Chains A and B, each alone.
Chain A
Amino acid sequence: MPILVTLKTPVAALGREVLVFTRDLGRVFLFFARGSLLIFQPPFQFDKIRQHIFFIGMKSVFVICLTAGFTGMVLGLQGYYALVKYGSTAALGSAVALSLVREMGPVLTAIMIIARAGSAMAAEIGIMRITEQIDALKTMDINPLRYLISPRIAAALVCFPLLTAIFDVVGLFGGYLSGSALLGVNPAFYFSRAQSSVETSDIIGGFIKAIVFAVVTVTICCYQGYYTHTRAEFGAKGVSISTTSAVVISCVLVLVTDYVLTTFLL
């Protein structure tokens, strides 16, 4: 019998982990499904969605521009020194544009929004949970998912693609700044190659990624905050761990889904 027990223990532990993981996955999916369906329940919450668009979108514009500018510049710089070896610096425009539109734009935008707005969402909802504000909503017959989560999902779906577009454009100019203005690539070549190499499918692919990242980010961040009370840690510690896991999990998931999506889109 002891041999069986020894054999069973790791299997049982693995089984338990798998079950917990599957259960959590199901929970996260239901959380998102309910939250997004409730967006369409009248009366529509235009005002709240507008406020969240302002918070997630408008307030992120500066940081997105800054990141995009430097990302474009470093791409221009690296691209130039890579291409100059083969004497094809004229292709810098397409190199910068394609890497921005297909990959860097959606991924870095998502990661910047996670850092700025995602962490704030998890912390805000987490604090509402531990101070019984979510229970207070329930006692007033207000659906907390509809009141707190739905407007955030709607706002993220609007903001992510728009911010990605801004990232792409600013990044392109960043590449121009380092590639053409500093290192002397002909600006006409830079922009014409950028324009000719980027296809509509690349742009659509980038937007699809942005939308998927929006769903992943907002769901994970809100979920972590919303279920703060189920953690082993209580109070402020619970909120801090929720915020940390919201940021870490959503960043990792953005990179994982990026790989999966890229294999389908290419």
Chain B
Amino acid sequence: MTGSPLIQLQDVVKTLGVNRVLDGINLSIHRGEITAIIGKSGSGKSVLLKHIIGLLEPDGGAILFEGRTTSAMSAPEKRALKQKFSYVFQDTALFDFLTVLENVALPLVERRGAVPAEIHRRVREKLNQLDLYDVDYKYPSQLSGGMKKRVALARALVTDPEIVLFDEPTTGLDPIRKNAVHSMISDYQRRFGFTGVVVSHEIPDIFFIAQRVAMIDAGRIRFEGTPDDIQRASDREVRNFIEGLESPRDDLTGIVSQSIGQQHLRQEMSRLQRHQIPFSIVLMSMDNLEDIDRIAGHMASQTVFKLFADHVIQNSYLTDTCFRYAINKILVVLPDTDEAQARSFCLKISRTMRHSALFDSFDTVREVCYSVSAGVVQVQPDSGLEDLIAAAESGQTIFYECRK
């Protein structure tokens, strides 16, 4: 978080009908970050997003862009500002009378000075990046829900916007597609550096990709901070909300959720401190998931990660706890295990992976080289949880590598 915020909402108030949907919202959105907005259904998340892009005007308060009030801007300035934004609607809002190709091309076609060949090239590029093949001349009603979402994303990203607002981009998608959309948002954000605002119910998945999280409740911002902050928040309302939504298992991999994993980690810690029962942790990361994203698409990379998680689960005992620590990381807690045993656990995984390559089902991914690194730490009674994970992260070495 550096410098002044890109977008600032100051005491924004909005009443729709008889409901005061926004009741003094104060929120800052910083350049180059993904801000997740979470909150109960009907708490005003979508309305907030519509205020940011100017589809709705606030009844009170102000919205500032780079420190300037948007309502005080001249018409050409407003137009120029609008062109920096893109919006991904909850129900895709694709134009049902246009084909996929025309839908994605529309934002470019309607801009002045558009060159048809250039438009065609950019549209093709976006469709390919989002794994949309052979659908050019289909109409939105002929596509599946997941495909529509991807077409909507392609349409939003085709203008190379500076700020992209996502209104529940993953609702109604299966776990692999959902994770693929998340990894896509995060990947594009890193690559193109846009500022993202994501309204989402996907907890904890959204915490993997967001740099900041704001929770909205009863028309006000109840909590604002980093994903780590919110997961440690003591506010009862925030805790109840997060714990209520958080599924006990990670959707993609089927391993336990981060909060349950952290809980097991704390339990092991206290066992160690009270009864001197040793335990180790192993932090495994698939290092070049992004390369797979780029070469074979986000669906492929998420499927590969799921397969990798399956290997880890197969090799762990019932008493071991695996949980997804980040979008490409799995943390394994091994009770009653010293460092040497933990290393042999890694070795065992690398051996099974060698016997069944992860990429057998993907022709396009076979050319990619990929590696998995692991950091093994035997926990000492006096070490803090954060230090532990940091130590595991710094001590990572590649334990499995595949080059074809």
Residues of A within 8 A of B (CB): 43, 124, 127-128, 131-133, 135-136, 138-142, 147
A132 touches B89 (CB 8 A): yes
Tally inter-chain residue pairs, CB-CB below 8 A.
Answer: 46
With both beta carbons as reference points, the residue of chain A lying nearest to B159 in the complex is identified as A140
- Tell me if B91 counts as interface (CB < 8 A to partner A): yes
User: Given A131-B93, A131-B96, A141-B79, A136 and B87 touching (CB < 8 A)?
Assistant: yes
- For this complex, 16 residue pairs linking A to B, each with C-beta atoms less than 8 Å apart, are A131-B93, A133-B95, A133-B96, A136-B89, A136-B94, A136-B95, A138-B54, A138-B55, A139-B55, A139-B85, A139-B86, A140-B86, A141-B79, A141-B82, A142-B106, A142-B107
Bound-state CA distance A141–B159 (Å) is 11
When C-beta atoms are compared, the residue in chain B nearest to A132 turns out to be B93
B53 lies within 8 A of A140 (CB) = no
| Residue B363 CB within 8 A of the other chain | no
Taking a contact as CB atoms under 8 Å apart, the answer to whether A135 and B96 are in contact is: no
User: Are the CB atoms of B91 and A140 closer together than 8 Å?
Assistant: no
* Chain B, 97-148, CB within 8 A of any chain A CB: 97, 106-107, 110-112
Docked Cα-Cα span, A254 to B85, in Å, equals 43
Closest chain B CB from A57 CB (angstroms): 18
B residues neighboring A (CB under 8 Å): 50, 53-55, 79, 82-83, 85-87, 89, 91, 93-97, 106-107, 110-112, 159
B46 to A: closest C-beta gap in Å: 10
Which partner residue on chain B sits nearest A45 by CB separation?
A: B110
Separation of A135 and B50 alpha carbons in the complex (Å): 10
Q: CB-CB < 8 A to A138: which residues of B?
A: 54-55
Nearest CB in chain B to that of A142: its residue? B110
- CA A43 – CA B116 in complex, angstroms? 14
Query: Which chain A positions have C-beta within 8 A of B95?
Result: 128, 133, 136
Q: List residues of chain B with CB within 8 A of the CB of A43.
A: 112
Closest 9 pairs (CB-CB, A-B) = A139-B87, A136-B93, A132-B93, A140-B107, A141-B82, A142-B110, A133-B93, A132-B89, A141-B83
Report how far A122 CA is from B50 CA in the complex, Å: 25
B253, chain A: closest CB distance, angstroms: 34
Residues of B within 8 A of A133 (CB): 93-96
Q: How far is the CB of B311 from chain A (nearest CB, A)?
A: 43
CA distance A142 to B93 in the complex (A): 14
Please, which residues of chain B bring their CB within 8 A of the CB of A140?
A: 86, 106-107, 110, 159
Contacts of A127 in B (CB 8 A): 96
What is the CB-to-nearest-CB distance from A127 to chain B, in angstroms, rounded to a whole number?
A: 8
Distance in angstroms from A134 CB to nearest chain B CB is: 9
Q: In whole angstroms, what is the CA distance A140 to B83 when docked? A: 7
- How far, in whole Å, are A141 and B53 apart by their CA atoms in the complex? 10
Cβ-defined contact, A132 with B85, below 8 A: no
CA distance A110 to B1 in the complex (A): 62
**Nearest CB in chain B: distance from A140 CB, A:** 4
Rounded to whole angstroms, the CA-CA distance of A43 and B111 in the bound complex is: 10
Cα A147 to Cα B102 in complex, Å, equals: 14
Knowing A140-B110, A142-B110, the reply to whether A132 touches B91 (Cβ < 8 A) is yes
Q: How far is the CA of A43 from the CA of B96 in the complex (A)?
A: 24
Instruction: Give every chain A residue within 8 A of B112 (Cβ-Cβ).
Output: 43
Nearest residue in B to A43 (C-beta to C-beta)? B112
* CB nearest neighbor in B for A134: B93
Expressed in whole angstroms, the minimum distance between the Cβ of A139 and any Cβ of chain B is 4
Chain B, Cβ-Cβ closest to A42: B112
Q: Is the CB of A135 within 8 A of B110?
A: no
Q: How far is the CA of A139 from the CA of B94 in the complex (A)?
A: 12
What A residues does B159 contact at CB under 8 A? Answer: 140
Query: How far apart are B76's CB and chain A's nearest CB, in angstroms?
Result: 12
Residue contact A147 to B91, C-beta cutoff 8 Å: no
Contacts of B111 in A (CB 8 A): 141
- Minimum CB–CB distance for A218 against chain B, Å: 18
Give the chain B neighbours of A131 by CB distance below 8 A: 91, 93, 96
A135/B82 in contact, CB under 8 A? no
Q: What would 16 more interface pairs be, CB under 8 Å, given A131-B91, A133-B95, A139-B82?
A: A124-B97, A131-B96, A132-B93, A133-B94, A135-B93, A136-B87, A136-B89, A136-B93, A136-B94, A139-B53, A140-B86, A141-B83, A141-B107, A141-B111, A142-B110, A147-B110
Chain B nearest Cβ from A183, distance in angstroms: 49
Chain B: CB-nearest residue to A140: B107
- Give the shortest distance, in Å, between B153 (CB) and chain A (any CB): 13
Interface contact A135-B55, CB-CB below 8 Å:
yes
Among A124, A128, A132, the most chain B Cβ lie within 10 Å of the Cβ of A132
Complex interface: chain A residues within 8 A of B110 (CB): 140-142, 147
Docked CA distance A132–B53 (Å): 14
With A and B bound together, what is the CA distance between A136 and B111 in angstroms? 15
A127 to B97, CA, bound (A): 11
Min Cβ gap A70→B in Å is: 33
Query: How far does the alpha carbon of A265 sit from the alpha carbon of B106 in the complex, in Å?
Result: 45
A148 to chain B, nearest CB (A): 10
A-side contacts of B87, CB under 8 Å = 136, 139
Which residues in B have their C-beta under 8 angstroms from that of A135?
A: 50, 55, 89, 93
- Bound complex: CA of A124 vs CA of B97, how far in Å? 9
Give Cα A142–Cα B105 distance, bound, in whole angstroms.
13
CB neighbours of B82 from chain A (8 A) = 139, 141
Chain A residues in 8 Å Cβ range of B50: 135
A142 to B50, CA, bound (A): 16
User: Distance (Å) between the CB of A225 and the closest chain B CB?
Assistant: 14
| A174 CB, nearest partner CB in chain B, Å | 36
Bound: A140/B53 CA distance, A: 10
Query: Which of B85, B93, B111, B159 is the most central at the interface, judged by chain A CB atoms within 10 Å of its CB?
Result: B93
- In the assembled complex, how far is the CB of residue B194 from the closest CB belonging to chain A, in whole angstroms? 15
Q: Which residues of B contact A141 (CB under 8 A)?
A: 79, 82-83, 107, 110-111
Chain A: minimal CB distance from B51 (Å): 13
Closest to B158 in A: A140
Whole-angstrom CA separation of A128 from B98 in the bound complex: 12
